Structure formats: structure tokens, C-alpha cells
A and B are shown apart, each in its own frame.
Chain A
Amino acid sequence: MYHAKYIIPALLVFLAVVTFPFWAKGKAVYRVELKLPANQTECIEDTETMRTSHMQILDHWRDKVVREGERVYTNAKGVKYSMSLTNTCMSCHSDKEKFCDKCHNSVGVAPYCWNCHLTTPKGGK
């Protein structure tokens, strides 16, 4: 083998970088546990829709409220809700850190909702 003194260290560094996630892993078991509201069993839509589309619903709400002044959302079952992140969503999911942040932080998603929005109707962060 020629130039082993350069090639072997470079190869070892490469292997270390490639396998980095294996030895850098944090907790042995990765699990996200959400604190679900105690007094409610149903969200505005079914769980699967909320999981895949909550961001689009909120985006849609923002456009409706801010641009068109429309504030009432009717869900698939015909129940009406006020289009408000702070007053509707967060009246049940009151603790952002134990609900929203759980998933978002664990996979590195940083939505910009709370750049503007308060986390409780009364104020405070």
C-alpha cells in the first residue's frame, strides 16, 4: 500500500464521520409523548388530519382572518370553531412546551407561529 500514512487516517476520519450517528446517539429509546388535553377527547378534525394538515389549517386560518376578516371555521362534521391559534387550539393544548414543542423540537422543526402569537389568551410567553 502506497502513502498509507495519509490514506489510512483519511479513511478512518471518513468512516468516523459516516458512522457518527451510531456513536453520537442520545437516549437509547426515542419516543415522543404528548400531553393531551384532560377535558377534551376530540380535536377540530380527526387525529390523522390534524397530524398531517395542522400546519396547513393554521396557515389557511391566518389568511382567512387577516386578509378576509372571516373568523368562523366549520369542520367536516359541521361544528363551528373560532379561527384562533391562541383562543381555540391553545385553550385545550394549553402547554406549548408539552404539546407543540415535543414533536417540533425532536425533529428540528421551527414554525414561526409564536414569533407573533401569545401562548395563552391572557398574555405572557
Chain B
Amino acid sequence: MAAFYSFMAVLALVFIAAIGAGSAGMYTLFGVAIPYVALLVFLAGFIYRIVYWAKSPVPFSIATTGGQQKSLPWIKNSPWDNPYTVTGTVIRMILEVVTFRSLFRNTKIDLRVDNVKVVYGSAKFLWLFALIFHMAFFTILIRHMRLFLDPVPACIQKIEFLDSILQVGIPTLYQTDLLILVGLTFLLLRRIVDVKVNYISLAQDYFPLFLLLGIAISGIYMRYFIKADVISIKELTMGLLSFKPALPEKALETTFFVHLFLVSCLLAYFPFSKLMHLAGVFLSPTRNLPNNTRRQHYTNPWNDPAIKPHSYAAYEDDFREKMIEAGLPVEKEA
């Protein structure tokens, strides 16, 4: 049901934009006002969320220990999976962000042998398709800068060239356009088909997937099918960027407004959703702390500095007589 409601929500957004900017002709609202508001909500929400997280204390060092920790010199340790220095932690974080190493360790659990024996197995598909989706999305984001920068920088043209290097069809097919659909479809089907994942999936898991699918499909439709007027679109975007927004003389396609509205929704929704893992990964105590608690004391920021350490010797000094009376052993006789 969660999937169905999320799908209907995205469909409703599509219709709002299609009717609002299509038949109702509210171009300024959908082309200027909503994108500005969405960007402001995104920026303010992002800052709010980060500051909120940064204010939360981390009471314990809870680094994930993914391998042999540093101990005796003759025991081989895993410096990236179980880092004990800042450098190791930075390397772990970079590898996590770029290659999703923790997803690579994903396992599946199954009942085998007359449904009584629990069996664990490797499950790499989540890692593979998550990587495909994220890399494709990132490339698409960078590629879109051709509509936001004037003149178009050479590096963006290079990325565009590499992305369409197979030169399939006219306009040339971007590999990332296919890959993002493949990635998103897998991530969605995983939640629908796998009963265990389905059981724990909520509307806030499905909604971003449908929203991103809507954005990708409307973008693909504009490029390959209706050939949206890119020059007019860039006139609008550059107007927005220079804070002198003006709608181009030629009416823009309704699909463009649907695309823009869905992207605005994504931006405004982003800071309050699970998509904030973009920033959250850097603030995860399981990832950003070195596992060095046996060499270095980790101070709980909650600790009241007025409460001083109380050693056993001092404790015994306080209660020695009572302890002797009760027959408890003491280290120092009175």
C-alpha cells in the first residue's frame, strides 16, 4: 500500500504541474516562483538539518569494526575497515562514499535443508545497482550544468561527450539515461518483490524512488521524444540565475514544467527525507570515528565537568569502616 500511495502522490504532482502550467497557464508560478522557493527551502533545510545533527552529542565511540583491529604488531590489521588513525578513517570514508563498501558486505539470509537450517549468502546486487544509480545520477547532475553555465565549460562538454560516446541515435543517447532507469527500477523492485524488504518499506522509501523515476522519465521524454526547446529553457534558467527571471517568448513545453516541478519538489523535500544520507554519511559515528578506544580515552560530551573522577582508593577511604563492619575485604586496613 505504501508503494501505491507514493506512486499516486507522484502522479498527483505530475498532474498538478501538467494542469497548472499546461491548461491553466500558470507559467510564472511553475517556472519562477516554485523553483526559487524550492531552492530556498533546500538550502535552509539543509543547513538546519546539519546544525541539528552537529548539536547532537555522540556519547560513545561506536565505530563499525569491519575487520581485524590494530593490536599486537604481529597480528595483521585492516587499516581501512577498522581504522585506528584519522588518515585511515578518512580513507574509509572516501571509499564508503565513492564505492559503497558497506553495501558490498550485504548478505542475504535464507532457510535451507527442510526449512530449518539458516544459511547466509553474499548479495551483491544491491551494491551494484545502488552504485549504478548514484553514479548515473551524479553524472546527470553535472551534465545539466550546460543549462546553468554560460559559456559551457570544456569539462562539462567532455563529460557530455563521454556519456554519449557510443553515438547511438540522434540526439545521441546518454548511457546514464539508461543506467539511472536500470538502477531505479532495481531499487524499486527490490522493495516490492523481496518480502523481507517489502515488510520494512515505508512510504518515505518509495516516494523518492517514484519521484526520481518521474524526473528521469520526463527528462528522457523531453530529450528524445518531443525535443524540448533547449535554447528557450536556458533563457529561463539563466534569467533565474541572474535574479531577472523572464519567461522566454516562446511557450515552453508542458513536459518541461512537469520536470521542473518534480525537481522543485525533490529539492524542497530533500532536507526532510532519507535522501539526507548525502550529508548524513559524513556525520555517521559508525563511519567517522576511528576505532582507537583502547589506546585513547573517548570523552562523553554529556559528562558533567563538575563531577570529578572518583577512584576506588577514594571510595574505600569514604566507606572503610562500614565495609569492615559488613565484613567486606578492604585493600588498606584502617
A107, B157: Cβ atoms closer than 8 Å: no
Say yes or no for A27: interface residue by CB 8 A criterion. yes
For this complex, 13 residue pairs linking A to B, each with C-beta atoms less than 8 Å apart, are A1-B55, A7-B50, A7-B283, A21-B148, A25-B238, A26-B149, A26-B150, A29-B239, A53-B227, A108-B157, A108-B160, A110-B160, A112-B167
* Residue interface mask A1-43, B partner, CB < 8 A = 1: 1111001001100110011011011111111100000000000
**What residues of B have a CB within 8 angstroms of the CB of A28 in the complex?**
242, 244
B234, A106: Cβ atoms closer than 8 Å: yes
Q: Tell me the A residues contacting B by CB distance below 8 Å.
A: 1-4, 7, 10-11, 14-15, 18-19, 21-22, 24-32, 51-53, 55-56, 58-59, 103, 105-110, 112
Known contacts A52-B227, A56-B170; A21/B149 CB under 8 A:
yes
**A29 CB → nearest B CB, Å:** 7
A30, B238: Cβ atoms closer than 8 Å: yes
B229, A51: Cβ atoms closer than 8 Å: yes
Give residues 203-239 of B contacting A (CB, 8 Å): 226-227, 229-231, 234-235, 238-239
- Cα-based distance from A61 to B218 in the complex (angstroms): 29
How many residue pairs bridge A and B at CB < 8 Å? Answer: 88
B145, A21: Cβ atoms closer than 8 Å: yes
**What residues of B have a CB within 8 angstroms of the CB of A103 in the complex?**
230-231
- Cα-based distance from A10 to B53 in the complex (angstroms): 14
B152, A30: Cβ atoms closer than 8 Å: no
**B139 CB → nearest A CB, Å:** 14
A108, B55: Cβ atoms closer than 8 Å: no
**What residues of A have a CB within 8 angstroms of the CB of B55 in the complex?**
1-2
* Residue interface mask B155-189, A partner, CB < 8 A = 1: 01100110000010011000000000000000000
Which of B43, B149, B238 interacts with A15 by CB under 8 Å?
Answer: B43
**A78 CB → nearest B CB, Å:** 25
Q: Tell me the B residues contacting A by CB distance below 8 Å.
A: 42-43, 46-47, 50-51, 54-58, 145-152, 156-157, 160-161, 167, 170-171, 226-227, 229-231, 234-235, 238-239, 241-242, 244, 279, 282-283, 301
Known contacts A51-B229, A105-B152, A110-B157; A30/B50 CB under 8 A:
no
**What residues of B have a CB within 8 angstroms of the CB of A30 in the complex?**
150, 234-235, 238-239
- Cα-based distance from A100 to B147 in the complex (angstroms): 18
Cβ-closest chain B residue relative to A59 = B170
- Cα-based distance from A31 to B283 in the complex (angstroms): 43
B152, A108: Cβ atoms closer than 8 Å: yes
Known contacts A1-B55, A2-B57, A112-B167; A106/B148 CB under 8 A:
no
**What residues of A have a CB within 8 angstroms of the CB of B226 in the complex?**
52
B150, A55: Cβ atoms closer than 8 Å: no
Which of B46, B227, B231, B241 interacts with A22 by CB under 8 Å?
Answer: B241
- Cα-based distance from A27 to B241 in the complex (angstroms): 11
- Cα-based distance from A26 to B148 in the complex (angstroms): 10
**B202 CB → nearest A CB, Å:** 27
**A26 CB → nearest B CB, Å:** 4
**B289 CB → nearest A CB, Å:** 11
Which of A7, A18, A59, A107 interacts with B234 by CB under 8 Å?
Answer: A107
Known contacts A21-B241, A28-B242, A107-B234; A11/B152 CB under 8 A:
no
